[in-house]
Chain A
């Protein structure tokens, strides 16, 4: 089935140790998004790629970076994770910027920082 796959489901990293979360999609969608969702809160958009065009939200910390080497894959890099970065990280895709039928979300990666 076409879908958005996030690996791993659970990631534990040490304070200050760089970590990378991955997302892949078989939908051939042009747009890929990364959201951060802290406990009992709404998902918060960090950035998105429209094809190879990177778009950062104004309040996304510099500690967060993203790479999209091809249409199918997108990575979230956290350069120096702090305790406050512990959250669920959600990847989503959309065929075009206009969100017809919303976005398709992956199951998320839950990041723990120790």
Chain B
């Protein structure tokens, strides 16, 4: 079935460097995309979202890029900090699926000192 998935299960980044986490999706009708951060023992925390009519959106230290042509989504974290250590999920929703949010597999981000 259709799903949202991630290219890399783990990513190790030096503290202070930029992190890029990638995500592929397969539902061409997906029109809303979200990145969540999940720390150990906690629920997913909203980071940033983007609608399909945009290709870039920036937040505080984070940027989401959307390439609808190749169905690819990325999350960029600037100046990665120890507190950024977590599992990051991309998620998507589509009007043809009652707008329900479907999660991808997740990438664990390790910050190296």
A residues with CB within 8 A of B:
4, 33, 35, 40-45, 48, 55, 90, 92, 97-99, 101-108, 110
Contacts and interface: CB of A to CB of B under 8 A. Distances in A.
Nearest to B89: A42
B43 A97 contact: no
Given A41-B105, A42-B106, A99 B44 contact: no
21 contacts: A33-B101, A35-B103, A40-B106, A43-B44, A48-B100, A55-B98, A90-B43, A92-B43, A98-B32, A99-B32, A102-B34, A102-B36, A102-B46, A103-B46, A105-B43, A105-B44, A107-B42, A107-B43, A108-B41, A108-B42, A108-B43
Given A98-B32, A102-B91, 17 more contacts: A33-B101, A40-B106, A41-B106, A42-B103, A42-B104, A43-B44, A48-B100, A99-B93, A99-B101, A101-B46, A102-B34, A102-B36, A102-B49, A104-B46, A107-B42, A107-B43, A110-B41
A29 to B, nearest CB: 14
A114 B86 CA distance: 29
Interface of B: 32, 34, 36, 41-46, 49, 89, 91, 93, 98-106
B103 A43 contact: yes
A-B CB proximity, top 7 nearest: A105-B43, A42-B103, A102-B46, A102-B34, A97-B99, A43-B103, A107-B43
A55 B99 CA distance: 13
Contacts of A40: 106
Contact of A98 (B44, B89, B99): B99
Nearest to A55: B98
Contacts of A44: 103
Question: Which of A102, A104, A106, A110 has most chain B Cβ within 10 Å?
Answer: A102
B108 to A, nearest CB: 8
